Chain A
């Protein structure tokens, strides 16, 4: 009796396994020699810079899919195998992708790894419960949203130019030209920010997620965030009360919230104070709509500037 059931059970499992192996998609491992080396990049900003520098000469694979919250991402086997097969793997670092910190130790020697946060100017995270000075270094000491400082984007462009030139020396001249052109555009954007935010009625920037520290610092804005650096953190009640008082005191007209994530808290503050809630794109990732309408780092930063100027009543 028992054995009969066991046999039936085993039979069903075997049937499922066999069925699965029939229906499992045939993954083609790209054995045919690809002319251009593959470069895997984790975040949207790295993807933008890499594409601007490399043009069509390298295959740039974005790891974090478009339209998802980059904080919540964790790679599946296909994505990991994609990384192990690329010549260069570039990630944001500073604790932004925990999965990458674990993964990089297990990658084959054929994959060179770059932690971009090691090469740009970082600011310390100013989360609640700030650290005393002289505390040990560990994850999360620095704010990882450094791409919102345009100077860092320029730095990243220069670094990728030299890395790509090492990877494909024949194209070094092309990379040099592309990088110079992109840096020109970034510098134009930077001067637009400087000019656009020079004279404003109000310099307090309130956001629901502490992603805009670099942007605030570069443009001398006072940045107040409702919650911490990670988008899935919860604010404390006192935090919200403090911010409501701040909004009333400074006469802040607009509270910003980040796309992709729950904006309940910003909406609450907006309701309590009569301020407007407006979205601001921190460029951790791009949404599918933005991709379809061919938005880039440059166009979205332009859009952000418009919203900021309106909110702070800049001349």
Chain B
């Protein structure tokens, strides 16, 4: 079982996967409660626009993805909170719109778009030490913000109006939350890919909620589930020669089904 850890590339894959698992599942709890789950999917597609711009102009795809994801997250939150548009329709517009934009940009480049393909499914097996540092630094910042404002975010997640009446700066915190999520997503598409990051954010929280516990234990359980999925998924990917990102997501799905069955009523 342990011989896979002899390989430095597997060690790096585990570290990256576990970091992303904690970040994605922690921030995922908030968006699931707010029925904002598709935010992760949408921002992942927006990141793809950043990646394609980066590939077109020879700039770093990672940083362009962070930038695109941040800007889009502000626009989405602005349309939702200030203009009062339904969050699901705003997300639908951004989701398909950004994908269309990414495809057009890539075809403008007239270049080999296999490069974009690797961002769809991620490449956790070729994470470098520098990538780990970038993830670690930005991840800790995001984590710190989430933990400092944990209680406020929790109130907002349950009832925005009550939270506002209670003197919480809802608008500011909402923008902070989407920014943090935007950064986490842009950083993690390298690892699990655009098409799969949504699962890592949403499924652990949904599965944990089935146990009907308080918010704190639910959040802890959801982080635990994400960590277990990364561990089992990567190991399964190693032993049975499966694509890594997909193996992780399938593990999440299995855990979700077990949680459903255990909590059937």
Which residues 125-150 of B have a CB within 8 angstroms of A?
Answer: 125-128
Q: Are A106 and B123 in contact (CB under 8 A)?
A: no
Q: Which of chain B's residues have a CB closer than 8 A to the CB of A234?
A: 103, 107
CA distance A136 to B109 in the complex (A): 12
Bound complex: CA of A123 vs CA of B115, how far in Å?
A: 19
A89 nearest CB across to chain B (Å) = 13
Return the chain B residue nearest A227 by Cβ: B107
A232→B113 contact, CB < 8 A: yes
Out of A2, A8, A95, A108, which one reaches B111, CB within 8 Å? A95
Once the chains bind, are B112 and A140 in contact (CB under 8 Å)? Answer: yes
The stretch from A49-57, A96-104, A250-258, A264-272 touching chain B is A96-104
Residue of A nearest to B261 (CB): A12
CB 8 Å contact bits of A104-125 with B (1 = contact, 0 = none): 0110100000000000000001
Across the interface, A139 reaches (CB within 8 A) one of B115, B125, B238, B244, namely: B115
Q: Is the CB of A77 within 8 A of B8?
A: no
**In the complex, which of the residues A5, A130, A230 contacts B112, with contact meaning CB atoms closer than 8 Å?**
A230
CA distance A193 to B242 in the complex (A): 42
Contact of A77 among B57, B121, B232, B237 (CB under 8 A): B237
Dominant SS at the B interface? helix
Contact in complex: A25, B55 (CB < 8 Å): no
A242 within 8 A of B: no
> Cβ of B262 and Cβ of A131 under 8 Å apart?
no
- Could you say which interface size class chain B belongs to? 35 or more
B114 is an interface residue with CB less than 8 A from chain A = yes
- Residues from chain B with a CB closer than 8 A to the CB of A2 are 211-213
Interface residues of A in 226-244 (CB under 8 A from B): 228-230, 232-234, 236
Number of contacting residues on A, CB 8 A?
58
Given contacts A12-B258, A74-B118, A140-B55, contact A95 B112 (CB under 8 A): yes
| Chain B: minimal CB distance from A291 (Å) | 20
> Does the CB pair B117–A84 fall under 8 Å?
no
Closest chain A residue, CB of each to CB of B118: A98
| CB < 8 Å A-B pair total | 163
Q: Which residues of B contact A84 (CB under 8 A)?
A: 7-9
Q: Which of A21, A24, A74, A106 contacts B128 (CB 8 A)?
A: A106
Taking CB atoms and an 8 Å cut-off, the chain A residues in 51-87 that contact chain B are 71-72, 74-81, 84
Pair A24/B1 contact, Cβ less than 8 Å:
yes
Cβ < 8 Å to A, chain B residues 242-261: 242-244, 254-255, 258-259
30 contacts between A and B (CB under 8 A): A5-B211, A5-B263, A6-B211, A6-B221, A9-B262, A20-B232, A29-B3, A76-B244, A77-B9, A77-B10, A77-B125, A77-B237, A77-B238, A80-B7, A81-B7, A98-B115, A102-B123, A106-B12, A125-B110, A129-B109, A130-B110, A138-B111, A139-B115, A140-B109, A141-B111, A144-B112, A228-B107, A228-B111, A228-B113, A230-B112
Measured CB to CB, the residues of B under 8 A from A are 1, 3-4, 6-10, 12-13, 55, 57-58, 103, 106-115, 117-118, 121, 123, 125-128, 211-213, 221, 228, 232, 234-244, 254-255, 258-259, 262-263
Residues of A near any B CB (own CB < 8 A): 2, 5-6, 8-9, 12-13, 16-17, 20-21, 24-25, 27, 29, 71-72, 74-81, 84, 94-99, 102-103, 105-106, 108, 125-131, 136-141, 144, 228-230, 232-234, 236
